[in-house]
Chains A and B, each alone.
Chain A
């Protein structure tokens, strides 16, 4: 089987999410990559070094600069003429593009896979991670999005892929990129962090969230996350949200501070290796999944913990 992997990149650098997809794709067969964008020569070179990669298709065109699905999907569909499977990370970019590709190929997409059981059989979470389904695809070509935390990351060195230029797709002319507002992160990125400290509604407001959670996160070298309640209440921007509707994370250590543990939040973090919960309500559902729990007032506990670390 020949697979085609969508390479996610930003500001000339390969994004980590792609590496897990390469691992998943390698379980299916020969791995080819697609680097699409504007001035992406550098990214293509990085991509060719990923261990296990064969061909790297490069499409360099202004119409591909912002990864608009309308322009990117036809290009992928064309390349799928000689590939058997298309894989993309289950990130906001991947989720935007892959189903458009699937429909154009007239196949059903398999979303957010957790494992590759065989060439046509995969496991995936449903019902906010409360049920794991094993599904078998009857389609000739497969379109798949991959949950990054479920696969090891392929090594970024050791590969010797061959770079091949493919025609930049023409602009579909139906959509234009207007602008982006990307949150500045001084801490590790949420989806690839080893340690995450997350805060919930109990943090009261933005400044309190900041003064309570950030020092602890910095002490641990951790990324900062939040529950939907904290995001909706405006304490932090929405890209901090961990959950079914936010980001899915699986760090070594997840510290949940003032988070009750609603189903939708657990869906985003219950595969973390160790979960630590700090909550004043000893009946909070978070304690049912926490490996280590501490019942008490977070406004006393967190500063004390930060101090003692």
Chain B
């Protein structure tokens, strides 16, 4: 079985994003970019499934600027077999991404598609579900455990009250939650090897998909700042504050 893993190049999760003064967006110039953390977990899970013999080939795919190649090389260094970059300088919304991925799925016919549950830049949490809808296939979102059993996959999902397990017939779409696994680091020899793995270059036009944005961002602002707080010296003072707030009797 082939596994397709979409990965996104996003601002590094340790960087505090700065909103541009003109309100057009977040300043990404000269900011460290990395693979979206949930996508690292997706790549790792695909590799583990191959190591267990449940998968034969792992294809990583990214949609975005030329530099997204670096993100794909990271996936290849972790263990993906080959990569596809659909290059565009335009911003592609989750619906557009899902439509492009649906075309790639038609071509590649993977048995399983593993995505991150959300990208830490737009925080949409949509692409996996949308892809599943477009393909008419089942979805196992927010997965914390994945097991392939013959022609189905069992997915334990993180839901608000705890955990829930569903069984999906393959091909299926799975989106990863944080606790699914601990992604491995790429070793130096593997990083070197990844440079010679195949990376196909495409454009959205190759797939004949309309990816015109449906949402227009009118402005982006910083969230309201909290006013500076105070420090109290000891527990008695804290208790007094709590009492004054009516929290404690």
A-to-B contact residues, CB < 8 Å: 10, 66, 68-70, 73, 91-93, 95-104, 106-112, 121, 125-139, 172-183, 191, 195, 219-220, 228, 231-232, 237-239, 244-245, 247, 252-253, 263-264, 270, 274-276, 282, 287, 289-295, 301, 304-305, 308-309
Q: Are B11 and A127 in contact (CB under 8 A)?
A: yes
Interface size on B, residues (CB 8 A): 82
Write out, one digit per residue, whether chain B residues 147-178 have a CB within 8 A of any chain A CB (1) or not (0): 00000001001111111111111001000011
The answer to whether the Cβ of B144 comes within 8 Å of any Cβ in the partner chain is yes
Asked whether, in the complex, the Cβ of B235 is within 8 Å of the Cβ of A305, the reply is yes
Query: Is B159 touching A176 in the complex (CB atoms < 8 A)?
Result: no
Is B13 part of the contact surface with A, judged by Cβ < 8 Å?
A: yes
Which residues of B sit under 8 angstroms from A179, Cβ to Cβ? 164-165
**Given contacts A137-B214, A182-B161, A287-B229, is CB(A130)–CB(B223) below 8 Å?**
yes
CB proximity of A137 to chain B, nearest CB, Å: 6
- Is the CB–CB distance between B230 and A126 below 8 Å? no
Given contacts A177-B164, A180-B161, 10 further A-B contacts (CB under 8 A): A99-B133, A100-B129, A103-B98, A108-B94, A111-B124, A126-B122, A134-B219, A135-B216, A232-B178, A293-B232
- Asked if B166 and A177 make an inter-chain contact with CB atoms under 8 angstroms apart, the answer reads yes
Q: Is the CB of A70 within 8 A of B139?
A: yes
CA distance A110 to B93 in the complex (A): 11
Q: Does B214 contact A96, Cβ atoms closer than 8 Å?
A: no
Query: Could you tell me if A92 and B159 are in contact, using CB atoms closer than 8 angstroms?
Result: yes
Please measure, in the bound complex, the distance between the C-alpha atom of A135 and the C-alpha atom of B13, giving whole angstroms.
23
What is the number of contacts between chain A and chain B, taking CB atoms within 8 Å?
248
Contact between chains at B214 and A220 (CB < 8 Å): no
Find out whether the CB atom of A264 lies under 8 angstroms from the CB atom of B13.
Answer: yes
Q: Does the CB pair A127–B26 fall under 8 Å?
A: yes
Assuming A70-B139, A127-B123, A238-B144, is B162 touching A102 (CB within 8 A)? no
Q: A133-B217, A293-B232, A304-B235 are in contact. Are A108 and B95 (CB under 8 A)?
A: yes
- B66 proximal to A (CB < 8 A): no
Cross-chain contact A276 with B123 (CB below 8 angstroms): no
Contacts of B248 in A (CB 8 A): 219-220, 309
User: Given A102-B130, A103-B95, A308-B236, A135–B123 Cβ distance below 8 Å?
Assistant: no
By a CB distance below 8 angstroms, the chain A residues around B144 are 238
Residue from A97, A135, A244 within 8 A of B215 (CB atoms): A135
In the bound complex, do residue B138 and residue A70 qualify as a contact, i.e. CB atoms below 8 Å apart? yes
Which of chain B's residues have a CB closer than 8 A to the CB of A136? 215-216, 218
Contact of A108 among B93, B132, B137, B169 (CB under 8 A): B93
Contact, CB under 8 Å: B94 / A99:
yes
Residues on B with beta carbons closer than 8 Å to the beta carbon of A275: 226, 229
Rounded to whole Å, the gap between the CB of B121 and the closest CB of chain A is: 6
The answer to whether A182 and B126 have CB atoms under 8 Å apart is no
- The residue on A at minimum CB distance from B169 is A174
Residues 210-249 of B contacting A (Cβ, < 8 Å): 213-223, 226-227, 229-232, 234-236, 238-239, 241-242, 245, 247-249
A103 touches B163 (CB 8 A): no
Among B115-142, those with CB < 8 Å from A are 117-118, 120-134, 137-142
Given A111-B123, A245-B177, CB of A180 within 8 Å of CB of B17: no
Contact residues in B for A287 (Cβ distance below 8 Å): 229, 231
Contacts of B177 in A (CB 8 A): 245
